[in-house]
Amino acid sequence: MCSYISTRNACKLCSPLGACMAMRGIEGCVPLIHGSQGCATYIRRYGISHFREPIDIASSNFVEATAIFGGQDNLFQAIDNVMRQYQPAAIGVASTCLSETIGDDVKRFLYEYKISRAEKLRRTGGGVLPLIFYASTPSYRGTHIVGFHEAIYSAIESLAAVGVAGDFKRERINLISSFVSASDLRELHEILLSYFVPYTLLPDYSETLDGGVWEDYQRLPAGGTPLNSIIAMAESRGTIYLGHAFNKDKNGAAYLTAKFDVPMRAVNLPIGIENTDNFFETLNQMTGKTTPEKWEIERRRLIDAYFDGHKYCSGKRAVLYGDIDFVDAMSGFLSEIGIETAVAADGAETDFATMLETAANAKPDFVIGNSKGLYLARELGIPLVRCSFPIHDRFGGHRILHLGYRGTLNLFERICNTIIETNQNAAPNGWTYV
């Protein structure tokens, strides 16, 4: 077998893309890419085709001279433009491969910008600066999910503070989410609301990237985690972290623990009965309450579905890929329903060409992951169950429910029906009863 040192059909997306999606989950926040216009266009293209919503991503617009002399002036002008056109409450700056490679000291740039512009605003009575925070996200140092968690950490580090939680001091709980769908975030809201405790869900793009129709274009759509809610995370009872912060020095929940003594628990995404049970048990321990009856009913309904559909899934084999948070949770779920994960890849070190070589002899029955795996499924001659991000070739990918008992039931039914349809289409004579 040949040995390759290059990536062939990458299974991952770029780090600043993930950072921008997380930033869009903060109220009044505009993401700003410190790099070329092409980087911002790439991120908009992926976001718009998945969420089917307009997504503004600002750019410092590197050109040849910027790559040689540095991007400070471009960054200053870009922030000025964003402030003038959007009047944002916050600006999230994400670096790119180019700005990191030439050694731009973005932290120093922003420090100097804040000093110079704040003084100018004081002299002219022009108001106050928005919150400006920075996530270091070169793509050669991680995938989109790494950038996603990096942006969350940066927002918490910039905002969280004591003395603001008021009557809810130490009653609030924090839930830091991984990169899930807009419907998943709404499900998390419903779960948290059922416990009747104040909470912060970060990030929250359930409305900013999946809102209703507008009579006039909204440059800053309503929704997102309020800045005051992020500030109050410092005085909370505890933090639940869904997924993995890959850079242990850039873990938002660990920062709250070290800086403000807020306990943390990291759990897998609640996909599957075991993972969802663990999530609810963690919520129970943190709130001092028991699982609300409505979720116990949903759990019983899911178990009943497992019994009814087990015959379709038992003994099947799957190729599973996506970001590590998704793959970790999904592999446990597939095992629950009797499906063996023949190949699992998180995209950080594996590309689709390598997956195809590995899967060719594994005799899988279907592929599960985002739209980028269509090539893999076609080469293997098996169906693709679409979920996670990005989904470009179907409508409503951003509203697929993955989390909780209801999300697990949705995924279970999708898998069962894919298997049934494949067998049905392959049958020499049509049949309508299963």
The DSSP call for residue 366 is: E
pLDDT for the residue 1: 42
What pLDDT sits at residue 353? 87
Q: How far apart are CA 362 and CA 351, in angstroms?
A: 17
Length of the chain: 434
Task: Indicate if 305-426 has the same CATH topology as 15-210+221-267.
Answer: yes
The whole-angstrom separation of Cα 369 and Cα 373 is 7
**Residue-wise pLDDT tens digits, 277-305:** 999 999 999 999 999 999 999 999 999 99
Secondary-structure class of domain 305-426 per CATH = alpha beta
Average pLDDT per block of 10 residues along the chain, 434 residues long: 61 92 97 93 93 93 85 93 94 94 92 86 75 93 91 96 66 95 98 97 97 86 96 95 79 94 96 98 97 98 97 96 94 97 87 89 94 93 96 94 98 97 88 80
CB 322, CB 372: distance < 8 Å: no
Summarize pLDDT for 126-135 with one digit per residue, the tens.
677 899 999 9
What residue ranges do the domains of the chain occupy?
15-210+221-267, 305-426
The type of residue at 128 is V
Among the CATH numbers 3.30.420.40, 3.40.50.1980, 3.30.465.10, 3.90.1200.10, which is that of 15-210+221-267? 3.40.50.1980
| C-alpha span between 147 and 137 (Å, rounded) | 6
Spatial CB neighbours of 39, under 8 Å, sequence gap ≥ 6: 14, 16, 33, 59, 96, 98
In this prediction, residue 164 carries a pLDDT of: 63
Separation CA 9–CA 351 (nearest Å): 6
d(CA 422, CA 425): 5
Whether the Cβ atoms of residue 417 and residue 289 lie closer than 8 Å to each other: no
How far is Cα 307 from Cα 323, in angstroms, rounded to an integer? 29
